[in-house]
Amino acid sequence: MNIDISKFNQSRLLVVGDIMVDEYLWGKVDRISPEAPVQIVSVEDEVFTLGGAGNVANNIVSLGANVSVAGIIGTDRCGNVLLKKFKALGVDTEGIIQIPGRPTTRKTRVIANNQQVLRIDRETKQDISDATMELLVKYIDAKMPLVEAVLISDYSKGLLTEKFIKKIISSAKKHNKITIADPKGLSFSKYSGISLLTPNKKEASLVSGVDIIDRSSLLKAGTKILNTVDIDNLLITCGKEGMVLFERNKEPYIINSKARQVFDVSGAGDTVAAVFGLAIASGASFADSAVIANAAAGIVVGKLGTATVSQKELSFALKPYPDDIIFKHKNLSELPVLIQELRKNGKRIVLTNGCFDILHTGHIMLFSASKQFGDILIVAIDDDDSVKKLKGKGRPVLSANERVKILSALDSVDYVVVFSSDKLNELINIIRPDVLTKGSNYSSKGVVGHETIEQFGGKTVIVPITEKISSSIIIDNIRHS
């Protein structure tokens, strides 16, 4: 496989589908209602994210490509929230029609004490009018020559009628464009003529009538769908088991997933469609595009909520021998979102900082002990210029990039961030750790940043280090020997 992910920047895709708002209400539960045997959730935060076709578009933008979106929303508050979010991303919204009286599809998830306790759906599934469809078709016909592929995101909300889908596919074929559909429903016949259909295993089982219990039944179901539905290619996604690509006159292509902890499968199908479309637009084969999409799905299920994947993450995941360094190393700009997610999941955060130029037993003891004070250990390392100022000529021995790789290999370390030593208080204000740790060669009052952390209720802990060892001692010993 030879695909340059940077080529995604030159692509433009068209997304047609059900646009929705994913609303998350985060709170705490500490009592039961006296009115009924239900939990009382004290809401502490409210977050709106792009869902459905909106999440497909968000994935495309996060990978550096351009995207136009066609669909319908209401004139309500959520409709305006969607438009504002799209415009902030630079998405072309000319194809989004606001219909008075039609509610914008909203899925509200109530999450308390780190668990989802309720989901509320506000929507209508009424089919769009012929007049609305014709307006959308007119827009799609005008955009078709300007895009490389069309993604159809169907959530059965009344937009993608069989009649409308046929018109989309007809327009795409007229301009020789690839069409990819993430389907919904118990019949795939309305997607006749599509270039690629991407159902999940459950959907494939229901439509084919084959109970998928193993690889053999999976291949049987996929072959049956390909033989009975007028589609060019079929990609069945199987979650942690990977996916299987069925192409006409070819053997099924099985793609296994790398074992990874799964936090949230929300929106994984959106990511698959977006990445597959971008790979195809960049000149990859269907088989290679499936491999890339599978890698992307493996990344997003390791994140919370309807997440996206970056070019950096995807490029790293596609390396012959990938590891978790890319997921542990965080830039300063990535920290606010990370910290917000960790806090919402009730994680206690520990921060320790230093040069860590040459790793030794004292450092290992510090990290191991620090992790005992919380759930997440963030190690902040001084950048190369800072180390040089602090330690003098010839330092650091190892560059920041090398130090990040070494620290990321430690199980006790959850995240690594590089910073300038004069920005420590700023870093502490971003992370707002529950605990700041240092080795016993410091006193608690001599730790830089202790006043800042104590201002918002955190504390400084001095970890006893019995070994009399330091990077400077090791380096001096090497020089003298």
Which residues are known catalytic residues? 270
What type of residue is 232?
A: D
- What tokens does 116 get? 């989802």
Indicate the burial class of 130 (C-beta count within 10 angstroms; 0-12, 13-18, 19 or more). exposed
Q: What is the 3-state secondary structure (H, E, C) of the chain?
A: CCCCHHHHHHCEEEEEECEEEEEEEEEEEEEECCCCCCEEEEEEEEEEEEEEHHHHHHHHHHCCCEEEEEEEEECCHHHHHHHHHHHHHCCEEEEEEEECCCCCEEEEEEEECCEEEEEEEECCCCCCCHHHHHHHHHHHHHHHHHCCEEEEECCCCCCCCHHHHHHHHHHHHHCCCEEEEECCCCCCHHHCCCCEECCEHHHHHHHHCCCCCCHHHHHHHHHHHHHHCCCCEEEEECHHHCEEEEECCCCCEEECCCCCCCCCCCCHHHHHHHHHHHHHHCCCCHHHHHHHHHHHHHHHCCCCCCCCCCHHHHHHHCCCCCCCHHHHECCHHHHHHHHHHHHHCCCCEEEEEECCCCCCHHHHHHHHHHHCCCCEEEEEEECHHHHHHHHCCCCCCCCHHHHHHHHHCCCCCCEEEEECHHHHHHHHHHHCCCEEEEECCCCHHHCCCHHHHHHCCCEEEEECCCCCCCHHHHHHHHHHC
Residues constituting the chain: 481
C-alpha 267: how far from chain center: 9
Short-list 361, 312, 354, CA closest to 333? 312
The β-bridge relationship of strands 115-122 and 415-419 is: unpaired
